[in-house]
Amino acid sequence: MSSRTNGRRRDQGPEVPPEVKAELDDVYRSIIARAPEHDIDPTLDRVRQVCELLGDPQKAFRTIHVTGTNGKTSTARMTERLVREHGLRTGRFTSPHLTSVTERIAIDGEPLSAERFIEVWKDVAPYVEMVDESSEAAGGPRLSFFEVLTVMAFAAFADAPVDVAVVEVGLGGLWDSTNVVDAEIAIITPVALDHQKWLGDTVEEIAAQKAGIVKDGATLVLAQQTPLVEDVVVEAASARGAHVLREGTDLEVAERFPAVGGQLMSLRTPAGLYTEIFMPVHGAHQAHNALLALAATEALVSGGGALDGDVVGAAFDAMDSPGRLEVVRRSPTILVDAAHNPAGAQALVGALEESFDFTRLVGVVGILADKDAETILSLLEPVLAEVVVTQSGSVRSHDVDDLEEIAREIFGEERVHNVARLDVALDVAAARAESEDLVGVGTGTGVLVTGSVVLAAEARILLGRG
């Protein structure tokens, strides 16, 4: 199997003219040269100042704000799709991107075109520069990469204009640049240890950061959490007079069955029971994400009342979640999943065991250096016949030789292969998957690419989904 592909898929959108692509690349380089998005500076002042100069675009639409450790992007996509199905014009801001930075900002479910992204940058750039100069004169930094994108998203949404924006935090919540919004609805997906360098060493500290997005009098839709996390979040929300809808108390996935191409769900909210909902994505975790999205949409569209079941069903039926247990090729089947921490790996394994019946599955795994590689690999080991350790193009990528040592301790020497280049790693994994395929057509064999969002993104591009 060759990992390279020619031609262009219909789902990739129109071809971008070379001169526009070159200009987009220049814009992206100028933005990415700023401080990286995982660097948190505990202030919202710079973003507030730019927004004020732009006329506070973030106040021009209603907002659903999404944070948590895992499931944020999927939940944001589901929420946006549900809101849009009810006839409202939507904006969606998510991160990171899989193929192009333009994906992060979407209007009515469609990423900004390259031309529009460039226009928005040109609109906000003079004001960004003014605040940069002011901040540097006072001894502070320029706006970061993520702060600039946040401002661009709000400007694009206000200009469209959208009725509702679904906004995913970049990291944490309290000091995330998106937290300049006054969101009437907040969603907190499951919280676990991740990004400890920036958010704190305990789940309680991390939960307090996440709870920072809950505004006075808002509605909080809260995923099932550990008791420690729930106590921290509910206490913070109660102090702000927020109305809390808790999974396990107010919300539940009443029933769920694997189905061909996805799953069937029955979801219960205080407004009622929605039955026989089909969603073409795999895994119990996605059903729980869907429940949060449904409750948030009820709160926004009908003030907590029931929604039309047919409209809800149509929205979920049209759902997709790129890079989340996504089948990107057949014979052998190649799956791409952006799981990048232990909680994500655990959810991935559960979905694999439930929805797929591989006779032989080989992993292509690359993990960032600040992640718990040992636990991630240990969780993946029972479902993988062999593993090919590799690395993404990120400067934060775990050294592949060190990753090999960790993998050998878990899988044993014979089951581990070290291939630094991802394109070659994909070919090696496909060959290893098919090495015991007696029929010779890839039946029952597969490759799983996982370990980081960056790796998932690069694999999708190599396999023709970029």
What does 397-447 look like in DSSP terms, one character per residue? BPPHHHHHHHHHHHH-GGGEEE--SHHHHHHHHHHHHHTT-SSSS-TTEEE
Residue-wise pLDDT tens digits, 48-85 = 999 999 999 999 999 999 999 989 999 999 999 999 99
Are 309 and 414 part of one and the same domain?
no
Sort strands 252-259 and 262-269 into parallel, antiparallel or unpaired: antiparallel
- Is the preceding omega at residue 382 within 30 degrees of 0, hence cis? no
Q: Are 313 and 330 contained in the same domain? A: no
Mean pLDDT on 249-255: 98
| Per-chain mean pLDDT for the chain | 93
Q: How many domains does the chain have?
A: 2
Residues 117 and 69 in one domain: yes
pTM: 0.90
Return the number of other C-beta atoms located less than 10 Å from residue 378's C-beta: 17
Query: Can you tell me whether residue 265 is helix, strand or coil?
Result: strand
Q: Which domain holds residue 438?
A: 326-462
C-alpha dist (Å) from residue 71 to 91, 190, 411, 435: 19, 8, 28, 35
Residue 319's CB is within 10 A of a number of other CB atoms, namely: 20
Question: Does 134 share its domain with 275?
Answer: yes
CATH number, domain of 360, equals 3.90.190.20
Q: Is 42 among the domain residues?
A: yes
pLDDT value, residue 435? 84
pLDDT of residue 377: 98
Q: Strand ranges (DSSP E) for 238-357?
A: 243-246, 252-259, 262-269, 272-279, 326-329, 333-336
In this structure, the answer to whether residues 378 and 410 fall within a common structural domain is: yes
Percentage of residues of the chain with pLDDT beyond 70: 93
Q: If residue 92 lies in a helix (H) or strand (E), which one and from where to where?
A: strand 90-93
Per-residue confidence (pLDDT) for residue 200, from 0 to 100: 58
Q: pLDDT band at 316, cuts 50/70/90?
A: very high
Q: Which three-class secondary structure state does DSSP give residue 268?
A: strand
Question: pLDDT class for 270, splitting at 50, 70, 90?
Answer: very high
The answer on pLDDT for 7 being more than 50 is no
pLDDT per residue over 84-121, tens digit each? Answer: 999 999 999 999 999 999 999 999 999 999 999 999 99
> Kind of pairing, strands 360-365 and 272-279?
unpaired
The mean per-residue pLDDT over the stretch 155-166 comes to 99
Residues 335 and 312 in one domain: no
Confidence check: pLDDT of 286 > 90? yes
CA distances from 371 to 163, 205, 277 (A): 38, 18, 35
Contact 217, 192 (CB under 8 A): no
Q: Taking Cα atoms as reference points, which of 188, 240, 227, 242 lies closest to residue 210? A: 188
Q: Which of 267, 284, 317 is the last residue of a domain?
A: 317
> Could you tell me if residue 222 is inside a domain?
yes
What distance lies between CA 149 and its chain's CA centroid? 16
Together in a domain, 72 and 171: yes
Q: Which of 317, 346, 364 is the last residue of a domain?
A: 317
- Which pLDDT tens digit goes with each residue over 203-216? 898 999 999 999 99
Within-domain flag for 48: yes
Residue 212 and residue 251 in contact, taking contact as beta carbons nearer than 8 Å: no
* Non-local CB neighbours of 278 within 8 Å, separated by 6+ positions: 259, 262, 263, 264, 265, 313, 316, 317
Indicate whether 396 and 284 sit together in one domain: no
Tokens 């799709």 identify what position?
Answer: 81
- Sorting pLDDT into bands at 50, 70 and 90, what band is 4? very low
Alpha-carbon distances of 380 from 375, 386, 411, 437, rounded to whole Å: 9, 10, 10, 22
- Give pLDDT, residue 11: 43
Closest CA to 318 of 65, 78, 23: 78
- pLDDT of residue 195 exceeding 90, the answer is no
Q: Which of 257, 258, 256, 217 is nearest to 238 (CA)?
A: 217
Answer yes or no: is 3 within a domain.
no
More confident residue, 465 or 433: 433
Q: Do 106 and 112 meet the contact criterion of CB atoms below 8 Å apart? A: yes
Q: Which H/E stretch holds residue 187?
A: strand 185-188
Rounded percentage of the chain residues whose pLDDT exceeds 90: 84
pLDDT at 42: 87
What are 329-374's pLDDT values in tens digits? 987 899 999 999 999 999 999 999 999 999 999 999 999 998 999 9
Q: Are strands 386-389 and 360-365 parallel, antiparallel or unpaired?
A: parallel
What are the distances in angstroms from CA 293 to CA 53, 269, 297? 33, 11, 6
Q: Residue 271 above 80 pLDDT?
A: yes
Last residue of a domain, one of 296, 317, 338: 317
Burial pattern 35-55, b for ≥16 Cβ within 10 A else e, equals eebbebeeebebbbbbbeebe
Q: Is there a domain that residue 435 lies in? A: yes
For range 416-436, the mean pLDDT: 95
Check whether residue 184 and residue 100 sit in a common domain: yes
Q: pLDDT for 125-146, tens place per residue?
A: 999 999 999 999 999 999 999 9
Contact in structure between 195 and 173 (CB atoms under 8 Å)? no
Instruction: Concatenate the DSSP letters of all residues of 358-390 into one string.
Output: -SEEEEEE--BTTS-HHHHHHHHGGG-SEEEE-
Regarding whether 413 and 293 lie in a shared domain, the answer is no
Give the pLDDT band (50/70/90) at residue 15.
Answer: confident
5 is a domain residue: no
359 and 239, same structural domain?
A: no
Own/partner long-range contacts of 310-314 (Cβ < 8 Å, ≥24 apart): 311/85, 311/86, 312/82, 312/85, 312/274, 312/277, 313/274, 313/276, 313/277, 313/278, 314/85
Judge if 353 and 226 occupy the same domain. Answer: no
pLDDT at position 255 over 60: yes
Tokens 């190599």 correspond to what residue?
462
Q: Report the CATH number at residue 59.
A: 3.40.1190.10
Mean of pLDDT values over 13-30: 90
Q: Determine how many CB atoms are found less than 10 A away from the CB of residue 264.
A: 15
What b/e readout covers 334-351, taking b as 16+ CB neighbours within 10 angstroms? bbbbbbbbbbbbbbbbbb
Say which range, 52-56, 67-71, 384-388, 433-437, has the weakest mean pLDDT.
Answer: 433-437
